[in-house]
Amino acid sequence: MSDNITGKVVVITGASSGLGAAAARRLAARGARLALGARRVDRLEALVAELRAAGGEALAVPTDVTDPAQVQRLVDAAVATFDGLDVIINNAGLMPQSPLERRRIDEWDRMIDVNIKGVLYGIAAALPVMQAQKRGHIINVASVAGHKVRAGGAVYSATKHAVRVISEGLRQEVKPYNIRTTVISPGAVDTELPNSISEPDVAAGIRAFYDAYAISPDSFAEAVLYAMGQPESVDINEILYRPTSQEY
């Protein structure tokens, strides 16, 4: 019996560390064929070398998700190399939280460009392929912050809420093409995401929170495997999970 993962062609953005790298490792171990995109080329290539050494099939494509041409190149490379596309995981994101009164407009713009536009560019690149073949799976990464807002995180929460809204609209639109859609909203997971916070006091608070509550990025990989592994007739639309001890 097929596990609905072996042999699938999967594109992952933000794959050089954290959630993306954890998902890549687990998917490669299950026989998926991977096209991995990220800005940090050295780390991306090291990950691909690791996966290949373990017997996996993987391709590294330098990708900045704020550039739609680069995202298109990533998807095109997957199709050309592996003769198809089954899944895209729009994972790239950042979280430079700060109170609105500090007017970090540059950081607001960057979050909008990566967290919202990056997801849209991934959808735009993958959708024509999936529509033509009448199958596929689009997985977008949101956050518990897309469900709850707290002081200092307004813009980040807005971007992650936008991912949920986009994902729901997409879900409704792709029904004629037999395409599945999933939005995954993790709570505190041990990744480099807090490192994007530039305000020292905010960074210290978030780091303390993560030190107290964060769980392994393998938790995200398990969510991906669960959503992907269902029969094609089953569409897992949303997964929200947290560390058991996390209240927020």
Residue range 46-86, pLDDT digits in tens? 999 999 999 999 999 999 999 999 999 999 999 999 999 99
CATH number reported for the structural domain that contains residue 139 in this entry: 3.40.50.720
**45 within a domain of the structure (yes/no):** yes
Cβ neighbours of residue 97 closer than 8 Å, sequence gap 6 or more = 152, 153, 155, 156, 197, 199, 202, 206
**2 within a domain of the structure (yes/no):** no
**193 within a domain of the structure (yes/no):** yes
Q: Hey, CA dihedral for 236, 138, 17, 24, is it positive or negative?
A: positive
Examine the residue annotation and report whether 156 is marked as an active-site residue of this protein.
yes
Compute, in degrees rounded to 10, the torsion defined by CA atoms 17, 28, 230, 10. 70
Strands of 18-169 (E only): list them. Answer: 33-38, 57-62, 87-90, 136-141
**4 within a domain of the structure (yes/no):** no
Q: How many domains are there within the chain?
A: 1
**135 within a domain of the structure (yes/no):** yes
List 121, 156, 210, 241, catalytic entry: 156
For residue 1, the model assigns a pLDDT of 36
CA angle in degrees (0–180, nearest 5) for 19-83-114:
35
**245 within a domain of the structure (yes/no):** no
pTM: 0.95
**240 within a domain of the structure (yes/no):** no
- Could you list the residue range(s) of the whole structural domain that residue 160 is in? 9-234
pLDDT at 147 over 70: yes
**244 within a domain of the structure (yes/no):** no
